[in-house]
């Protein structure tokens, strides 16, 4: 298991260090894990002038899986777009063909009060959002800002091919089959032709999955339903932009962005695993960031890329036990519980393992 560790910027190195300890624990138990660090994002810009340098491209292509912290920081905000850290992220996803982004939205019972929604709305919440990651308006051309008739106009292109829609639909139907058998596809077919095609292709793909119940929802309604009655959903599949927005919205149902892992997979389950949050420059270097999303991302890696289901569940149980014991980083802290730093949270997960 050759794993590239791309810690990135801000809190990235702090949280990846804790996940690295967990992976090293399993190495010591006998898993054949090899870890190799690389540069992505702002740290790569600082060192090489490029957010996704050639050495990182090579390392990523050769690795079986990648664990990423987060990239970005205000010091890069004035760089030209192609040199920004976030371009490194888009480039690595595109280069590796990581078209399927899986985001489990799970509320740990210990954190029911950390959610901004009422306990009865979120208790037991367990949704999987499947977001297409390499197409849509984020990559479509033409794009840009131009002068037309004496003023600037900005434009982007929303575009999906049938094959792009079909392959993400298959991922979602298969995930639904492993779970409750319910899939909701989200689009905006009443206004956007591109998403009419999305709906048509998803509907056609459903014929191969008679055991899965497919429903469709318009994205504005989906945004509303996610906070009104989120437990009506099991698996949600949607395009890149709607998925970006809905998955961040859904993440808040669980109390903290610091709890949520993600996997981005290609068609052979090679993947990049990362917490869904960013580099949190406001709390970087203070030993207060929550490392659990990154540790849970390592668990997803063991599950999806390496079929190590036992190790993956052991990590998830250790995280849950740590929460049950009352250890809390700042973002999930509640009065009366044990305020815990980044490293100490790692210590507790290891102790519980």
Residues in binding site for NAD(+): 278-290
Name the DSSP class of 233: -
Question: Is the bond preceding residue 142 a cis peptide, omega within 30 degrees?
Answer: yes
Q: How far apart are CA 330 and CA 222, in angstroms?
A: 30
Q: How far apart are CA 141 and CA 293, in angstroms?
A: 34
Residue 90 or 343: the one with the smaller Cβ distance to Mg ion is: 90
Residue 125 or 283: the one with the smaller Cβ distance to ligand NAI is: 283
Q: How far is the CB of 329 from ligand NAI (least distance, A)?
A: 6
**Residue 279 near ligand NAI by CB under 6 A:** yes
Stretch that binds ligand NAI, among 104-112, 131-139, 278-286, 295-303 (CB under 6 A): 278-286
Q: How far apart are CA 8 and CA 275, in angstroms?
A: 12
Give the active site residue among 200, 244, 266, 347.
244
Which amino acids are annotated as binding site for substrate, given as ranges?
93, 103, 131, 220
Residues 54, 261: contact at Cβ < 8 Å?
A: no
Stretch that binds ligand NAI, among 142-150, 161-169, 222-230, 276-284 (CB under 6 A): 276-284
Q: How far apart are CA 142 and CA 155, in angstroms?
A: 8
**Residue 352 near ligand NAI by CB under 6 A:** no
Site for ligand NAI in 252-271 (CB under 6 A): 257-258
Give the active site residue among 76, 138, 160, 304.
138
Of 211, 187, 213, nearest to 198 by C-alpha is: 187
Ordered DSSP codes for 227-254: HH-GGG-SEEEE-HHHHHHHHHHHHGGG
Residue 188 or 277: the one with the smaller Cβ distance to ligand NAI is: 277
Site for Mg ion in 190-249 (CB under 5 A): 244
Burial class (CB in 10 A: 0-12, 13-18, 19+), 137: middle
Q: Which does 63 bind (CB under 5 to 8 A by kind): Mg ion, ligand NAI, none?
A: none
Site for ligand NAI in 55-94 (CB under 6 A): 70-73, 86, 89
Place of tokens 């997979």: 265
Stretch that binds ligand NAI, among 102-110, 187-195, 289-297, 309-317 (CB under 6 A): 289-297
Q: How far apart are CA 297 and CA 304, in angstroms?
A: 10
Residue 244 or 330: the one with the smaller Cβ distance to Mg ion is: 244
Q: How far apart are CA 72 and CA 278, in angstroms?
A: 7
**Residue 86 near Mg ion by CB under 5 A:** no
């Amino acid at each position: 298991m050759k794993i590239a560790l791309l810690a990135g910027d801000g809190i990235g190195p702090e949280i990846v260090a804790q996940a690295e300890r967990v992976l090293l624990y399993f190495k010591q138990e006998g898993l054949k894990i090899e870890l190799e660090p690389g540069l992505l994002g702002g740290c790569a810009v600082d060192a090489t002038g490029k957010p996704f340098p050639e050495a990182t491209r090579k390392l990523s292509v050769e690795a079986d899986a990648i664990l990423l912290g987060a990239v970005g920081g205000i010091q890069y905000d004035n760089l030209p777009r192609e040199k920004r850290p976030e371009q490194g992220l888009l480039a690595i996803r595109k280069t590796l063909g990581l078209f399927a982004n899986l985001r489990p939205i799970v509320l740990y019972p210990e954190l029911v009060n950390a959610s901004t929604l009422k306990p009865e709305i979120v208790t037991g919440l367990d949704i999987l959002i499947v977001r297409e990651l390499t197409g849509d308006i984020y990559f479509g051309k033409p794009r840009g800002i131009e002068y037309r008739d004496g003023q600037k106009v900005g434009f982007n292109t929303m575009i999906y091919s049938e094959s792009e829609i079909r392959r993400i639909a298959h991922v979602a139907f298969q995930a639904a089959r492993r779970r409750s058998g319910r899939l909701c596809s989200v689009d905006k077919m009443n206004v956007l032709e591109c998403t009419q095609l999305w709906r048509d292709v998803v509907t056609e793909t459903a014929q191969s999955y008679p055991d899965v119940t497919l429903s469709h929802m318009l994205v504005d309604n989906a945004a509303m339903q996610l906070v009104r009655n989120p437990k009506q959903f099991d698996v949600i599949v949607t395009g890149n932009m709607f998925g970006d927005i809905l998955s961040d919205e859904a993440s808040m149902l669980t109390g903290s962005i610091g709890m949520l892992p993600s996997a981005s997979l290609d068609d052979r389950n090679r993947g990049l695993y990362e917490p869904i949050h960013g580099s949190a420059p406001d709390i970087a270097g203070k030993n207060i960031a929550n490392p659990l999303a990154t540790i849970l991302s390592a668990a997803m890696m063991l599950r999806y890329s390496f079929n190590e289901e036992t190790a993956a569940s052991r990590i998830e149980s250790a995280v849950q036990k740590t929460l049950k014991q009352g250890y809390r980083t700042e973002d999930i802290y509640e009065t009366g519980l044990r305020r815990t730093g980044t490293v100490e949270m790692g210590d507790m997960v290891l102790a519980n393992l």
